[in-house]
Structure 1
Amino acid sequence: MREGSLEAPIRHPLDWKSADFYDEAKLDAEMRRVFDICHTCRRCFNLCDSFPRLFDLVDESKSGELDTVASADFKSVVDACTLCDMCFMTKCPYVPPHEFNIDFPHLILRYRAVEAKKKGVSFADRELAETDRNGKWATLIAGAANWATRRGSPLRGIEEKIAGLDENAQLPKYASRTLEVEAAAAPPARNEAGPAKGRKAVLYATCYGDYNDTSIGMAALAVLAKNGVETKVVNPHCCGMPKLEQGLIDEVAEAARKVAEAFAPYINDGYDIVAPVPSCALMLKFEWPLILPEDESVKRLAKSTFDLSEYVVDIARKEGLAEGMAPIDGGVAFHVSCHSRAQNIGQKGAELLALIPQADVTVVERCSGHGGAWGYKKGNFETAMKVGKPAARQIQGAGKKHVVSECPLAGLHIEQEIETLGGEAPEPQLVGHPIVLMARAYGVTGV
């Protein structure tokens, strides 16, 4: 039996419309097949908490093998998975086209889909996943919303009991104006002679970029305009990542159809689609085509989508960037987010930062531990802090002025982890995305 595959990894479409996908006996058989291979390999012991939990179940069982582990105990393994894809992308030697055909994250997704179909998703979790609706309302009352959700707020204890959000977790703030409104009010002047003047791009605002931190989108618009790119901001619907984490594949598919339909006219008109948040880019480029493999609009959108850092680096390579960037002082500790790595495009954020004069970049390629909404939940937050501690130590030890991650939620989590480390060294300043530092180097204020 060969170990590892000489061919490039591939992922199979999800067979989520078939009855077999939801058959509990067949799911259990597949869980046992995959878990037994994982147990005998154990290369992934130092990734997320799923694998230590699995290995502890086996080691503490009567036989010391998987056959005496109860199927009901598999849920603890499933609950620890954040769908970061790092086991598939970086560790497992048995991913397709290997004959073992291991896709651990999609197996976990199947388990959650079966669980959601059988038991449903809790009211609190369903409401938390409505990021579009929540964001639209929260921006209207941003001051009150941010007061209510800040650490130390008297309401956090109530939120923990009702919504399951750990009262010690630092939650993202809401903007008082959406990115779409802000961009319409102050559109950056496009450099008609910019090196990439033939390009047209739609910035997919995303929920976080539209409702939480608009500086990322405004910086992206400014940098693209400086380089001659004609840009628009569009946010037709959430990418569905929060619902994917809950196993609600049919609702993710509906989101994919809506977004693909909304972007189709722009693609027809020659626009590229640019996503500033890695998780959202991953959904458009990879997850949606596996959920709807026969949908031509979804496939076309996937081929037209770029991660923001990927897009700027592509401009730099093909047309060259506009001159005029000033040096960035103090250096940058750059965290490579898991969903950036899962796109298999290389360290594009680090490459973008290297384009800034004297950026002095230290790359940290360790998981932040946050795992989206997972890391905010009571029962998960302490694990999230534990998993992300090595990344925080590396960043603190780098001694740089700025810390930045392409995943804004990972950045917030790392900032909180650095706070817990203590020490006399000054804490680095958190920046929302590498594009923000590039915009500052170009002299853009307010980002």
Structure 2
Amino acid sequence: MSEGGLAAPSRHPLDWRNQEFYDETKLDAELRRIFDICHGCRRCFNLCDSFPRLFDLVDAAPNGELDTVESKDFKPIVDACTLCDMCYMTKCPYVPPHEFNLDFPHLMLRYRAVEAKKGEVEFADRELAKTDRNGALAAYVAPLGNWATDCAHKTARGLLEKAVGLHRRAFLPPYQLKSFVAREKASSPALNREAPAFGRKAVIYATCYANYNEPVIGLAASAVLAKNGVETEIVYPHCCGMPMLEQGAIEEVANAAKTVAAAMKPWIDKGYDVIALVPSCALMLKTEWPLILPEDEDVKHLSKATSDISEYIVAIARKEGLAPGLSALERGGVALHVSCHSRAQNMGQKARELIKLIPGVDLQVIERCSGHGGAWGCKTENFETALKVGAPVARQAAQSGKAVITSECPLAGHHIAQGMALIGDGERPRVAAPELVAHPIQLIAKAYGLEA
């Protein structure tokens, strides 16, 4: 057998509708097969905490090998996986088409799917993953809810920690009284019919985060697209299902995929591109959904039509050229975190290319996992681990001395900011704390003078 493959990674569809997928004996055999390969390789030691936990578990076994490890001890390894896909996309030499056929993230997903089928997912986790319901309800009490979830309110956060298992120190994104969809309908930006990209048409898939938590991301994207002559429509039929995927609820993700793909089909048929505002959501539409529903034609078409917002703007810059008017930023230095789910899209550092379009920008790129992993990093049992995994990113951001910190993943950006605040390296505190910008598209909007 060969040591490693040189071919581009490929991926097999998830066989989640086959009952053998949930057979615990077969799952355990596959866990042991793959864990034994990982134990002998160890290239992923510095990624998420799953791999140190696996290697420590095997090293502590009576004979130092996997055959003397009990299967019940595998769960902490699975629990530490954030489905970031970095082991699959950047480290592992044994992914398909290699004969070892190793897909660690989807193995962790299979384990969680078995747990979900057995009803072992915590009630609070299931409810927190219902992002559309939570966002719609939270809008009615946003000011009070945001006050209670602020880390400064220790009593309220202590109660929340006990009730739903969200760590009292973890940043929780605020909710808005008015969603991105509602704001955009109330005030659509004027379309520049003289711009180089006039004639392009795109649907902005709002995503639950941009819709309910930080509409400024969507407003910035909409304004930049209009400035460049792109006719846009805002469509948001349902969450992409990433929070449900993290819990192994694959059937619920499949239902979400069908709903969104059906809603997007008429737009795609009319020649519209589809733009996702958050990398995790773009990854779901592009990659995960076609692996879950490989026979669904609407899902296939949506996958081909979808771009990440950074990817789309860079494509305009390369093909038609951007509309004139970009100016240097007042606070010129930018530290950019390239998110894991951006890297997993295998499209290159599009956010770096995007920010480089700003005249005279002083940019430092940080390409390493922030440690957050969506809702995973907010949980009581994971928060300290998330800080540990993300510490190298926080240190690089702090040492960069840049005036602005941004990430393609908004939650990762907030997590990095928390990590920076906790660094105690003996250095002098900054004269001024860096500005946290939720998404690089907002920097383009600022450079155009289009701030929401």
TM-score by length of 1: 0.99
- Please give the per-residue CA displacement for 1:144-172, whole angstroms capped at 9, x wherever unaligned: 11011110322111111110000111111
Matched AA of 2:438: G
TM-score by length of 2: 0.98
- Cross-structure match for 2:241: 240
| Secondary structure of the corresponding residue to residue 124 of structure 2 | helix
- Please give the per-residue CA displacement for 1:116-152, whole angstroms capped at 9, x wherever unaligned: 1113422111110000000011122210110111103
Match status 1:82 vs 2:82: yes
Q: Whole-Å Cα distance in 1 between the matches of residues 201 and 4 of structure 2? A: 41
Q: Whole-Å Cα distance in 2 between the matches of residues 261 and 445 of structure 1? A: 33
Query: Match for 2:436 among 413, 430, 433?
Result: 430
Match status 1:193 vs 2:194: yes
Unaligned runs of 5+ in 2: none
Shift of residue 253, structure 1, vs aligned partner: 0.2
| Secondary structure of the corresponding residue to residue 405 of structure 2 | strand
- Cross-structure match for 2:399: 397
- Cross-structure match for 1:371: 373
Matched AA of 1:358: G
Q: Whole-Å Cα distance in 2 between the matches of residues 210 and 140 of structure 1? A: 15
User: Contact (CA 8 Å) 1:260, 1:297: kept in 2 or not?
Assistant: yes
The alignment yields a C-alpha RMSD, in angstroms, of 0.8
Q: Whole-Å Cα distance in 2 between the matches of residues 20 and 306 of structure 1? A: 35
- Please give the per-residue CA displacement for 1:71-109, whole angstroms capped at 9, x wherever unaligned: 000001000000000000110000000000000000000
User: Contact (CA 8 Å) 2:442, 2:451: kept in 1 or not?
Assistant: no
Unaligned runs of 5+ in 1: none
- Cross-structure match for 2:445: 439
Matched residues, number: 446
Q: Whole-Å Cα distance in 2 between the matches of residues 327 and 118 of structure 1? A: 55
Shift of residue 220, structure 1, vs aligned partner: 0.3
Matched AA of 2:112: R
- Cross-structure match for 1:30: 30
Shift of residue 359, structure 1, vs aligned partner: 1.4
- Cross-structure match for 2:51: 51
- Please give the per-residue CA displacement for 1:179-202, whole angstroms capped at 9, x wherever unaligned: 011111111001011111010011
Q: How does 1:250-399 map to 2 (within 5 A)?
A: 250-328=251-329, 329-399=331-401
Q: Whole-Å Cα distance in 1 between the matches of residues 407 and 74 of structure 2? A: 32
User: Contact (CA 8 Å) 1:418, 1:427: kept in 2 or not?
Assistant: no
| Identity across matched positions, percent | 66
| Secondary structure of the corresponding residue to residue 422 of structure 2 | helix
Shift of residue 2, structure 1, vs aligned partner: 1.1
Matched AA of 1:407: C
Match status 1:39 vs 2:39: yes
Q: Whole-Å Cα distance in 2 between the matches of residues 441 and 396 of structure 1? A: 24
Q: Whole-Å Cα distance in 1 between the matches of residues 13 and 332 of structure 2? A: 46
Q: Whole-Å Cα distance in 2 between the matches of residues 6 and 85 of structure 1? A: 18
- Please give the per-residue CA displacement for 1:197-245, whole angstroms capped at 9, x wherever unaligned: 0100111000000000011000000000000000111110000000000
Q: Whole-Å Cα distance in 1 between the matches of residues 327 and 41 of structure 2? A: 49
Q: Whole-Å Cα distance in 1 between the matches of residues 296 and 93 of structure 2? A: 31
User: Contact (CA 8 Å) 2:220, 2:451: kept in 1 or not?
Assistant: no
User: Contact (CA 8 Å) 1:419, 1:427: kept in 2 or not?
Assistant: no
104-113 or 184-193, which deviates more:
184-193
Shift of residue 445, structure 1, vs aligned partner: 2.9
User: Contact (CA 8 Å) 1:369, 1:385: kept in 2 or not?
Assistant: yes
Shift of residue 358, structure 1, vs aligned partner: 1.2
Q: Whole-Å Cα distance in 2 between the matches of residues 316 and 249 of structure 1? A: 37
Q: Whole-Å Cα distance in 2 between the matches of residues 190 and 59 of structure 1? A: 62
Q: Whole-Å Cα distance in 1 between the matches of residues 352 and 277 of structure 2? A: 15
- Please give the per-residue CA displacement for 1:380-439, whole angstroms capped at 9, x wherever unaligned: 000000000100110111111001000000001001111111542232110011110000
| Secondary structure of the corresponding residue to residue 25 of structure 1 | helix
